[in-house]
Structure 1
Amino acid sequence: MIYITFLAGLCFLLVGAEMLVRGASRLAARLGISPLVIGLTVVAFGTSSPELAVSIKASLADQAGIAMGNVVGSNIFNVLFILGLSAMVTPLVVAQQLIRFDIPLMVALSAALLLLVLDGQLSRLDGLLLAAGLVAYIAFLLYQNARSRLDTTAESDSTPPASNAWVVNLVLVVAGLALLVLGSRWLVEGAVTFASYLGVSEQVIGLTIIAAGTSLPEVMTSLIAALRGERDIAVGNVVGSNVFNILGVLGVSSLIASSGITVPPAMISFDIPVMLAVAVACLPICFTGGVIQRWEGALLLGYYIAYTLYLILATTQHDALAGFTGVMLYFVLPLTLLTLAILSLQELKRRSGRVV
């Protein structure tokens, strides 16, 4: 029965997120919000709504490992797996606004989260700061949208939408939220049961199974966007989702938790720094030519496989853990950093030459 409940919860999360995104994006479009802003807010936040629902449920149940692990694992999954897989399907063009503002913001927020949890807890005050940051971020994007509308002379749709269209979209939003609430409850209950049965910590379950499960809406959104040629949306969806996960999901979850969210020491010393490193890696990858090439996508996907394998080896205390860690630390990582550094220097020379 627990398997059925777990799978049903995951399906409800996916269907609910799809309904929420579809209804909210149509309503936003009716209000004259640009596609880029919709991608960074409505679509990105909507596809992150499973993470929000799961983390809130876990916080209320005092399951801090799942609440924090879900967000950290999802952010790692979004960059390494989703961007990697999407870029392998087709090279991803990265909008300049993402390179100049949104990706650096994602890096800054990842670093800020690491600083906030050094005391072992994400307090309610921390949550308030994060939630306020989300409000400021949305306000900034809306300001940019309003300014771009003033700068352009594009014709607007003068035909008022049918009243039943508004009703249908509102029903989609409400029904989507209801499915997310129910799905998150079943998914968390199933995951906790799995963790206790297999002897795996809630932290690892949150970083892997739940993180990947709640990120499936982002997977489908980015893959479909890449296949349809909307390649900047594929990247914007990931970046916007990561920003929302830190500001919105952790902000709200820590606010409603009785005493904030207690952060496991292993997550402070390893998983959150990995999340920060993954965010930093986006800068040179997206900066070089403004395109994520197929080989770069394969590199990102390979690192996600390596990260997951490390979690499994560490959890089971496998004999291969020491050798695997040594290869990654002393060969793979230095080679990757050297390659990205060379590519970044070449891009800087190319751009400086073009300016001159």
Structure 2
Amino acid sequence: MTSILIFAAGAALLVYSAEKLLVYLVGSASGLRVSVLLLAIVFTGIEFDDVAFGVVLNIEDLGEVALGTVFGTAISMTGIVLALAAILTPTRVNIPGVYIALFAVSPLVMIPFILLAPLTAVHGVILVLLFVAFIGYVAFRELRSATPVFRNAEILERLEVGGGGGHAVADADRPTDKPPFTVTVPFDRTRPLPGWAGVGLAVVALVGLIVGAAIMSFGTEGILDEYAIGGTLFGATFATLVLTLEDLLLTVEPARRGAPEIGAGNVIGSVVFGVTAKLGIILLAGGSIAVDDEVWAWHLPVLIVMTAVGAYFISTGRLRRWHGFVLLALYIAYWVVSFTVLGEAPVEAD
């Protein structure tokens, strides 16, 4: 029980620090003129908490758990986050087809790397470069488009973004010369936060991420020893649920407030980031990771299918409740099979 409490405490600090890091990074970049979709893909798609946790796990020789979180969080983005967003806030969503296509095929990128296992730092470099190319392509398209800048910036109020958020765009088709929004000083919402202070607070939040990840990793070791759960399985299920809470808020809340593109951008960005740069950074920071048969036979096929189904539902232009129920049912089935078929504690021969 103690190890579970330690894990939960680390998770709480991790999620809180990740949210604050997002706030201050967005505030520091408030002078940039980019589209809402690009903001969502870059600032919510890059999973700081997941990366911190995965890196610490791999450094402490828990590579299987780290790899499990890569698959688990990517699968949960459609099976939990997109599913509950569709169930709770069914809505129209307008995402360019090319982004949906990239989202759908992104898990296939992992196939050659899994075949060449163990995963090494060389693979990590390639995976990070693939994500950089993806972001570069999205930025190129979005910065050239006529999409109004931060038309729905008030959606970010949930991240404590205030100031000029409601006045960023004077006309629906024309951005003003004012910054899209400002971040206010903690405990004083009437004072804008200077850019240098935002960077400083982002560093503090980053330290919180590292500490939270270390605490979670310590708790993970205790849980694996006490309950005899496989490393990959634990990372793909229980650890994933904790890391998914923030993504759920970042997807459901924008949809509820009338900007579903932010939520969809979060899902797309998170999955693409997870199967490329997230795994790449984990490998670069912590060294090589062995890949067991469960990954090839179960977790990777599930990820491919779930992402393809989610991409199809987004491509229809409207997320419906039955879409959410289908995705949630598939995710529950994934859990059931994972624990009934793969979840038995290993038995050592005498």
User: Could you report, residue by residue, the CA deviation over 1:45-78 in whole angstroms, capped at 9, with x for unpaired residues?
Assistant: 1xx1111011111121221211110010001111
Describe the SS at the equivalent of 1:215: helix
Match of 2:194, SS state, is helix
User: Aligned in 2, Cα 1:145/1:284: closer, same or farther, shift over 3 Å?
Assistant: closer
| Superposition map of 1:112-151 within 5 A | 112-148=109-145
In the alignment, the residues of structure 2 paired with residue 120 and residue 279 of structure 1 have an alpha-carbon distance, to the nearest angstrom, of 23
- Where has structure 1 moved over 6 Å in runs of 4 or more? 149-152, 158-163
Distance 2:203 2:115 in 1: 38
Code of the aligned partner of 1:24? L
- Partner AA of 2:90 in structure 1: P
Aligned letter for 2:271?
N
Stretches of structure 1 lacking an aligned partner (at least 5 in a row)? 319-356
Residue 95 of structure 1: SS of its match in structure 2?
coil
2:297 counterpart residue number: 269
Contact 2:20–2:205, Cα closer than 8 Å, also in 1: yes
Q: Which residue pairs with 2:236 in the alignment? A: 207
Secondary structure of the residue aligned to 1:169 is helix
Structure 2 counterpart of 1:37: 38
Once residues 313 and 107 of structure 1 are traced to their aligned partners in structure 2, the CA distance between those partners, rounded to angstroms, is: 28
Q: Structure 1 residues 145-154 or 195-204, which shifts more?
A: 145-154
Post-superposition offset of 1:155: 2.6
Offset, 1:108: 2.4
Q: C-alpha displacement at 1:309, in angstroms?
A: 1.3
Residues 95 and 28 (structure 1), Cα distance of their counterparts in 2 relative to 1, 3 Å cut: farther
Matched length: 312
Q: 1:278 to 1:29 in 2, by over 3 A?
A: same
Quote the offset at 1:278 in angstroms: 0.9
Percent same amino acid at aligned positions? 23
Q: CA deviation at 1:95?
A: 2.1
Q: CA RMSD in A?
A: 2.3
Q: Which residue of 1 aligns with 2:62?
A: 63
Distance, in Å, in 2 between the alignment partners of 1:227 and 1:278 is 24
Matches within 5 A, 1:15-164: 15-45=16-46, 48-97=47-96, 100-148=97-145, 153-157=174-178, 164=193
Describe the shift of the 1:230–1:112 C-alpha distance in structure 2 as closer, same or farther (beyond 3 A): same
Of 246, 259, 263, the residue aligned with 2:275 is: 246
Task: Give the TM-score taking structure 2 as reference length.
Answer: 0.83
Deviation at 1:316, TM superposition (A): 4.8
Which residues of structure 2 form unaligned runs of 5+? 149-172, 183-190, 346-350
Q: Is the 8 A contact 1:51 1:215 kept in 2?
A: no
Pairwise CA distance, 1:87: 0.6
Indicate conservation of the 8 Å contact 1:26/1:169, yes or no.
yes
Give the structure-1-normalised TM-score: 0.81
Aligned equivalents of 2:64, 2:289: Cα separation in 1: 9
Q: Distance in 1 between matches of 2:51 and 2:123?
A: 17
Residues 81-115 of structure 1: per-residue CA shift (max 9 Å, x gap): 11111111111333232xx1223212322012022
